[in-house]
């Protein structure tokens, strides 16, 4: 009755999440230190303002007249956003989507046939595996080099290209390492794309949350033959429930036109974005600028608190994130899965072991975007557990 994909979508919970479920079933509250939903941490678009904007948006679309690319005013607002950072993207080269996940699916279906390959950074977010499965494509990892602050090895990336490679994914700021791709790396990636006729899928959902950097280097305007730039309101304005995202298409004009023709039909098949949200998007952009800056300031302050807690521990090492919400901790003489389970069992804190992201042993991943009191209370306890575990192992060698 069911497809082969259906069977692959069902898997047993891993040991960490089985333990979490057991603790929750016993009535124990668990502090999630991995969730990227910053609404739970007090980062909220002002409710009264949002309601006013949505009401005005609803009045603009009483009669249903959909546009396959998304309403013109919404696309113009996205275009204006890029102009403010020095990038000219015509509204006719922008497609409105419900968010980056569906944007990825559109790109994968547009660019690759069954069994074709797409290069994806490693470590990487587990969601890509499911999108690739549903798209029928194969993800080929290219490594980020921890020894060089998670830099991209352009030669190694190029060595991953085969006759079936159709595109490469760039995530900057990267999840979960926090790495921002340098202009030199972008030039190198664009060169690979040009030599092998590949598209670049540039995921920039954490672009507004930079730490110690003034601006984000982007592949828009590079020598790559075709670039899809993905972003949305989920992180930018802390509005994940609004479900408003986009794809900006740039590159060689002939390639861009062909991509847009196909994307128009794909999008017209589903018309997945609420007309009210599209009508409201220009005002969210307009009123959200100061709110976005306040969010960015708050997230930098979260990192300062987390860094103060992490800096003195001799059993972990980390590379300061350039942006985003996450930090990757490298453990010294301690198994990552054992450490994550001990932290959950003893401190009721959920963090992820590195293997969830195809990361080499032994690492833990956590989000530093937490309420200040959570950072002050949770991280010292987490570090004490790591010290106890390391001490126990040292004593039993």
Of 219, 256, 278, 282, the residue nearest 81 (C-alpha)? 282
Tokens of 218: 């982007």
pLDDT, tens digit, 9 for 90 and up, residues 318-360: 999 999 999 999 999 899 999 999 999 999 999 999 999 999 9
Tell me: do 114 and 157 sit in the same domain. Answer: yes
| pLDDT score of 394 | 53
Tell me: do 145 and 177 sit in the same domain. Answer: yes
Q: Which residue is associated with the tokens 């990636």? A: 189
Q: Is the pLDDT of residue 11 over 80?
A: no
Tell me: do 270 and 159 sit in the same domain. Answer: yes
Tell me: do 260 and 310 sit in the same domain. Answer: no
Q: Is residue 183 part of a domain?
A: yes
Mean predicted confidence (pLDDT) in 192-203: 98
Q: Is the pLDDT of residue 8 over 90?
A: no
Q: Is residue 50 part of a domain?
A: no
pLDDT, tens digit, 9 for 90 and up, residues 213-272: 889 999 998 999 999 999 999 999 999 999 999 999 999 999 999 999 999 999 999 999
Tell me: do 118 and 107 sit in the same domain. Answer: yes
Tell if the pTM clears 0.85, that is, is over it: yes
Residue 392 pLDDT level (bands cut at 50, 70, 90)? low
Question: In a 3-state reduction of DSSP, which class is residue 367?
Answer: strand
Mean predicted confidence (pLDDT) in 48-75: 97
| pLDDT score of 58 | 97
pLDDT, tens digit, 9 for 90 and up, residues 124-175: 988 889 999 999 999 999 999 999 999 999 999 999 999 999 999 999 999 9
Tell me: do 145 and 196 sit in the same domain. Answer: yes
Q: Are 192 and 198 in contact (CB under 8 A)?
A: yes
Q: Look up residue 107 and give its DSSP letter.
A: H
Of 18, 124, 54, the residue nearest 276 (C-alpha)? 54
Question: In a 3-state reduction of DSSP, which class is residue 38?
Answer: helix
Q: Is the pLDDT of residue 118 over 90?
A: yes
* Residue numbers of the domain that contains 13: 4-44+290-395
Tell me: do 282 and 297 sit in the same domain. Answer: no
Distance CA 356, CA 103 (A): 23
Of 287, 319, 341, the residue that ends a domain is 287
| pLDDT score of 103 | 98
Residue 251 has φ and ψ, to the nearest 5°, of 130, -155
Tell me: do 250 and 336 sit in the same domain. Answer: no
Residue 212 pLDDT level (bands cut at 50, 70, 90)? confident
Could you tell me what percent of the chain has a pLDDT over 70? 98
Q: Are 296 and 208 in contact (CB under 8 A)?
A: yes
| pLDDT score of 126 | 84
> Is residue 293 classed exposed, middle or buried when 0-12, 13-18 and 19+ CB atoms within 10 A define those classes?
exposed
How many independent structural domains does the chain possess? Answer: 2
Residue 208 pLDDT level (bands cut at 50, 70, 90)? very high
Tell me: do 344 and 203 sit in the same domain. Answer: no
Tell me: do 160 and 269 sit in the same domain. Answer: yes
Terminal-to-terminal C-alpha distance of the chain: 53
pLDDT, tens digit, 9 for 90 and up, residues 21-45: 999 999 999 999 999 899 999 999 9
Q: Is the pLDDT of residue 17 over 60?
A: yes
- Domain with 232 in it: what CATH number? 3.40.640.10
Q: Is the pLDDT of residue 396 over 60?
A: no
| pLDDT score of 9 | 81
Q: Which residue is associated with the tokens 């009210």? A: 276
Q: Is residue 81 part of a domain?
A: yes
Q: Is the pLDDT of residue 393 over 90?
A: no
Tell me: do 199 and 258 sit in the same domain. Answer: yes
Q: Is the pLDDT of residue 80 over 90?
A: yes
- Domain with 314 in it: what CATH number? 3.90.1150.10
Tell me: do 304 and 269 sit in the same domain. Answer: no
Of 233, 378, 211, the residue nearest 298 (C-alpha)? 211
Tokens of 21: 């479920």
Of 270, 287, 304, the residue that ends a domain is 287
Of 287, 314, 335, the residue that ends a domain is 287
Q: Is the pLDDT of residue 2 over 90?
A: no
Residue 397 pLDDT level (bands cut at 50, 70, 90)? low
């Amino acid at each position: 009755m069911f497809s082969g994909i259906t069977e692959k979508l069902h898997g047993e919970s891993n040991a960490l999440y089985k333990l979490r479920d057991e603790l929750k079933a016993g009535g124990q509250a668990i502090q999630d230190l991995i969730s990227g939903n910053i609404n739970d941490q007090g980062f909220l678009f002002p409710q009264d303002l949002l309601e006013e904007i949505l009401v005005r948006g609803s009045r603009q679309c009483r009669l249903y007249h959909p546009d396959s690319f998304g309403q013109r005013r919404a696309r113009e607002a996205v275009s204006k956003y890029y102009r403010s950072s020095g990038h000219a993207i015509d509204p006719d080269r922008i497609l409105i989507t419900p968010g980056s996940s569906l944007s990825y699916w559109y790109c994968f279906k547009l660019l690759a046939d069954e069994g074709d390959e797409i290069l994806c950074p490693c470590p990487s977010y587990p969601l890509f595996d499911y999108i690739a499965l549903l798209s029928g494509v194969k993800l080929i990892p290219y490594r980020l080099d921890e020894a060089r602050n998670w830099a991209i090895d352009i030669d190694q990336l190029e060595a991953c290209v085969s006759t079936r490679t159709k595109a490469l994914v760039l995530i900057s700021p990267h999840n979960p390492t926090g790495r921002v791709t340098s202009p030199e790396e972008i030039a190198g990636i664009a060169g690979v794309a040009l030599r092998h006729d590949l598209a670049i899928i540039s995921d920039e959902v954490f672009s507004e949350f930079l730490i110690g950097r003034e601006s984000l280097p982007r592949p828009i305007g590079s020598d790559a033959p075709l670039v899809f730039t993905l972003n949305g309101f989920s992180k930018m304005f802390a509005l994940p429930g609004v479900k408003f995202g986009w794809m900006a298409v740039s590159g060689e004009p002939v390639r861009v036109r062909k991509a847009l023709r196909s994307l128009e039909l794909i999008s017209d098949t589903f018309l997945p974005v609420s007309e009210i949200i599209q009508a409201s998007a220009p005002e969210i952009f307009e009123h959200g600028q100061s709110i976005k800056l306040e969010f960015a300031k708050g997230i930098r302050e979260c990192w300062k608190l987390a860094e103060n807690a992490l800096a003195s521990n001799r059993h972990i090492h980390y590379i300061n994130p350039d942006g985003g919400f996450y930090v990757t901790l490298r453990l010294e003489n301690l198994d990552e899965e054992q450490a994550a389970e001990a932290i959950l069992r003893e401190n009721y804190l959920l963090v992820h072991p590195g293997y969830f992201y195809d990361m080499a042993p032994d690492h833990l991943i956590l989000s530093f975007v937490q309420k200040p009191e959570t950072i002050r209370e949770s991280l010292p306890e987490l570090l004490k557990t790591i010290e106890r575990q390391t001490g126990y192992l040292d004593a039993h060698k």
